[in-house]
Structure 1
Amino acid sequence: MTSDTATGTAVGGDGPAPTPRPGPWIQTWDPEDETFWATTGERIARRNLFFSVLSEHVGFSVWTLWSVLVLFMGPEYGLTPADKFLLTSVVTLVGAVARVPYTFAVAVFGGRNWTIVSAGLLLVPTLAAFAVMRPGTSFATFLWIGLLAGIGGGNFASSMTNINAFFPMRHKGWALGLNAGGGNIGVPVIQLVALAIIGAGGGPRLLLGIYIPLIVVVAVLAALFMDNLASVKNDTGAARDAVREGHTWIMSFLYVGTFGSFIGYSFAFGQVLTTQFGRTPLQAAYLTFIGPLLGSLVRPLGGRLADRYGGARITLWTYVAMAAATAVLIVAGQLRSFALFTVTFVVLFALTGLGNGSTYKMIPGIFQARALAAGLTGEAAVRYGRRLSGASMGLIGAVGALGGVGINLAFRQSFLSSGTGTGAFAAFLAFYAVCLVVTWAVYLRRPAAPVAAGAATEEKQQLSHARV
């Protein structure tokens, strides 16, 4: 039984449908059923994915709005480089914290309904920035408006939680990577729009004026074309279990290194070029969009490679490459080689995107492996994995985004102490080294030899993690 229009009737499956709820709800959803997926599910899932990407894209643009606005803020605004790094740190922090409630909002309101609401909320920081963006505004006011812009970071968590429920396990890496990558592209897009405006002699209010009607359009499209899944429910028990599960915190740590790096560098790249290398805002704007663009485009590739070779393997080698690129950045900074520094920074951006896709693919795979190791099979294992992965995604996304706060604060301190970003990059290099060791030790290292039946079970579990 199917319904593409999602008017409250069941879609697929033979089990009892959940209690009807008002609005355009799909009552029954079973993407693991290959017949249902081929005949009905894939079409609906892809449609929701497309409009989810649009909403998340604009959310990322609003979240990273201040990474662009600070380039417009010349000496007449009275802000030091340290002030600007603090401002972007505050924006990143709020975006990270907002991801926790946004994750649970999908089950409370429905994926479609919450997409409409979360898109509409983006009008608040955009209109507020439009009102205060002028010389003479106090730094404290800019900080408060920056706090509002942080809500754009929450859209990622609700979008990922929603799309995770639409797709079967065998397609999650691709779907989540595409959803996240399409959202991440909001970062370079707003930087490209800013570049065009700066080049044309326009000001920051013109940039804000472009995004205000775009936000309205995205909310309307979500209302017209997206669906709610009645089967997605908040499970407080699952949330508690996810918090107690060590893999939730390990993946949070690894996600700090991938997504935290991506969003932190997205906020900081332009400021590093203007502060360390003396580039003008226009010169910086010509370059800052390239890294986030590549990092966003390769994120689905990271998910696809993880689907094929295992997320742990892709994540490990990504961290190896990120550490190598960071070492080159330290050398380039000491040599004052702008060309080497810029090219390597762009490569590092691309690597963060690759790691974003592979780490997020690991999350459902890890909990599926945990279910199998506990002796669950078939639908019971799928339900267990989906339950814990859905509960953990918001927390992992929130903690991971805190890495962006750390990166901007590290740059702030490094520039205050030495006038360059070298100290910050040295800290990042050490962190990536720890991340690659953790990835290998937890998900790829094989036990030496099982000495008992329990050890044999542990070996089976750990070997299965190599494919997550």
Structure 2
Amino acid sequence: MGTDTAAQGRAGGRWIQEWQPEDAGFWERTGRKTANRNLVFSIISEHIGFSIWSLWSVMVLFMGPKYGVDPAGKFFLVAVPTLVGAFVRIPYTVAVARFGGRNWTVIAALLLLLPTLAAAYVMHPGTSYTTFMLVAALTGLGGGNFASSMTNINAFFPQHRKGWALGLNAGGGNIGVPVIQLVALGVITWAGATHPRLVLGIYLPLIIVSVTCAALFMDNLAPMKNDTGALAEIVKQKHTWLMSVLYIGTFGSFIGFSFAFGLVLQNQFGRTPLQAAQLTFVGPLLGSLIRPVGGWLADRLGGARITLWNFAAMAVAAGVVTYASSIKSLPVFLTGFIALFVFAGLGNGSTYKMIPVIFEAKAQDRIAQLGDTVEQAAAWSRRMSGAAVGVIGAVGALGGLFINLAFRQSFLVAKTGTPAFVSFLVAYAVCFALTWVVYLRRPSAAPGEAVPSPALARA
């Protein structure tokens, strides 16, 4: 009875019963068109989710002296959404299989109304800091949209197209960060820094549009069943945690810097809210636009290779920013910081491409060692990749929390961001070494204990 009920729940016009993206004939006949349509509207929903997740990176620009919040308090305020966003990514990942990708996209988009309406209610002088913190925490729901969207799109595309598709999906979502910063710039320019509700008034109807588009144009995949077993298994895989560290270095940097950039400009270089808003969107915009390029390069040259040299470039950029911070040179600082955004975005694409390749390589081991059929190995790889996307995305988002807490402590103790930048440089060096040792150097472990490095290098 329970199985029949579940099957009935997965019937209807919005449920696709058969989905075989690795079948070239199926892909050319119907798969490509359907997958691309779902990708487009997934991007729209995820884009709005990222904008709401980063809402407080712009709300703090409107919080003048009358609000009574010091710089350290503002850094903590923008850190809270990253923490909540990281934690909700796991249930959001599971929800895609439980409710269907299209259905959960609708629900997740509707939930964005809560933090937006709450912010509109509390954004005025006299509101307690605790209230601001609670409302900022609500915006973390927008961070969960990324995990559910990526898990959903991962299931629609064949292996050889995942890098580009996931990069495009994530990049289009990431652009939500600079877009809301541009909206804030427009509001501050034309109405002044005392009208934060105008930003919220713009986004409320956009949320409704994203809900409507998802309901009308997206699909659920019936074969994508709720699989808590995959989640339990994936947390036991060492590559889940190794890739989480790398994703902290790339995506954690992107989201952390996106939230903190305006505050750093105000406190390190004395920029006004308008002056800060004129600069904050540039880095996140470039980082978002280049993310699909990272996936594209990884498809052709190998995710591990691109990730390795990307971390080297991030370390160099962090060195430039550290130097500029110590000599208080704004032009050099902006050059280095924007380079950090660009390389973080590139690395986002390449690291995410590595995830399905790792489990595809391990699936081949299962054929040789456990006697799995090709179909069984492919199914195992899809299960593990989908679960890994959610876990790695959740842990990686914590990097944004670490970055904002590092800035908070740095400005509290040293009155400058220089110590924080030094710590970032060291972190990128560690990620560089980890990528080389685990994913590019020939493994010395026994068979089955490590993913063969040539497979990752070619992926």
TM-score range, shorter chain: over 0.9
Q: Per-residue displacement from partner, 1:96-144 (whole Å, max 9, x unpaired)? A: 1110100000011100000000000000000000011001111111001
Question: Percent identity at matched positions?
Answer: 64
SS in 2 for 1:115: helix
Q: Residue 254 of structure 2 corresponds to which residue in structure 1? A: 262
Q: Note if contact 1:20-1:27 (Cα within 8 Å) is conserved in structure 2.
A: no
Distance between the aligned counterparts of 1:345 and 1:103, measured in 2? 32
Residues 368-387 of structure 1: matches in 2 within 5 Å?
A: 368-374=360-366, 375=368, 376=372, 378-387=374-383
Counting matched residue pairs gives: 447
> Cα 1:36–1:20, aligned 2, differ >3 Å: closer, same or farther?
farther
Q: Residue 90 of structure 1 corresponds to which residue in structure 2? A: 80
Distance between the aligned counterparts of 1:279 and 1:438, measured in 2? 38
Which of 116, 121, 126 pairs up with 1:136?
Answer: 126
- TM-score, with length taken from structure 2: 0.95
Q: Note if contact 2:294-2:349 (Cα within 8 Å) is conserved in structure 1.
A: yes
Pair 1:252-2:250 in alignment: no
Q: Per-residue displacement from partner, 1:361-405 (whole Å, max 9, x unpaired)? A: 000000000111232563233212111111111110000000000
Q: Note if contact 1:373-1:461 (Cα within 8 Å) is conserved in structure 2.
A: no
Q: How many angstroms does 1:19 deviate by? A: 6.3
Q: Which runs of 5+ in 1 are unaligned?
A: 1-17
> Cα 1:220–1:305, aligned 2, differ >3 Å: closer, same or farther?
same
SS in 2 for 1:244: coil
Q: Residue 390 of structure 2 corresponds to which residue in structure 1? A: 394
Pair 1:119-2:115 in alignment: no
Q: Residue 13 of structure 1 corresponds to which residue in structure 2? A: none
Q: Note if contact 1:242-1:391 (Cα within 8 Å) is conserved in structure 2.
A: yes
Q: How many angstroms does 1:148 deviate by? A: 0.6
Distance between the aligned counterparts of 1:354 and 1:378, measured in 2? 33
Which of 397, 402, 407 pairs up with 1:406?
Answer: 402
Q: Note if contact 2:406-2:420 (Cα within 8 Å) is conserved in structure 1.
A: yes
Q: Per-residue displacement from partner, 1:313-333 (whole Å, max 9, x unpaired)? A: 000000000001001111011
Distance between the aligned counterparts of 1:271 and 1:125, measured in 2? 21
Q: Residue 341 of structure 2 corresponds to which residue in structure 1? A: 349
Q: Per-residue displacement from partner, 1:218-255 (whole Å, max 9, x unpaired)? A: 10111000000001112222111101100000001110
Pair 1:463-2:454 in alignment: yes
Q: Residue 316 of structure 2 corresponds to which residue in structure 1? A: 324
Distance between the aligned counterparts of 2:457 and 2:37, measured in 1? 32
CA RMSD between the two structures: 1.5
SS in 1 for 2:135: helix
Distance between the aligned counterparts of 2:451 and 2:236, measured in 1? 22
Which of 290, 294, 298 pairs up with 2:290?
Answer: 298
Q: Note if contact 1:444-1:466 (Cα within 8 Å) is conserved in structure 2.
A: yes
Distance between the aligned counterparts of 1:19 and 1:386, measured in 2? 24
Q: Note if contact 1:446-1:459 (Cα within 8 Å) is conserved in structure 2.
A: no
Q: Per-residue displacement from partner, 1:292-340 (whole Å, max 9, x unpaired)? A: 0000000000000000011000000000000010011110111111000
Task: Please tell me the residue identity of whatever aligns with 1:21.
Answer: R
Which of 41, 51, 56 pairs up with 2:46?
Answer: 56
Which of 401, 412, 415 pairs up with 1:416?
Answer: 412
Distance between the aligned counterparts of 1:467 and 1:258, measured in 2? 21
Distance between the aligned counterparts of 2:134 and 2:269, measured in 1? 30
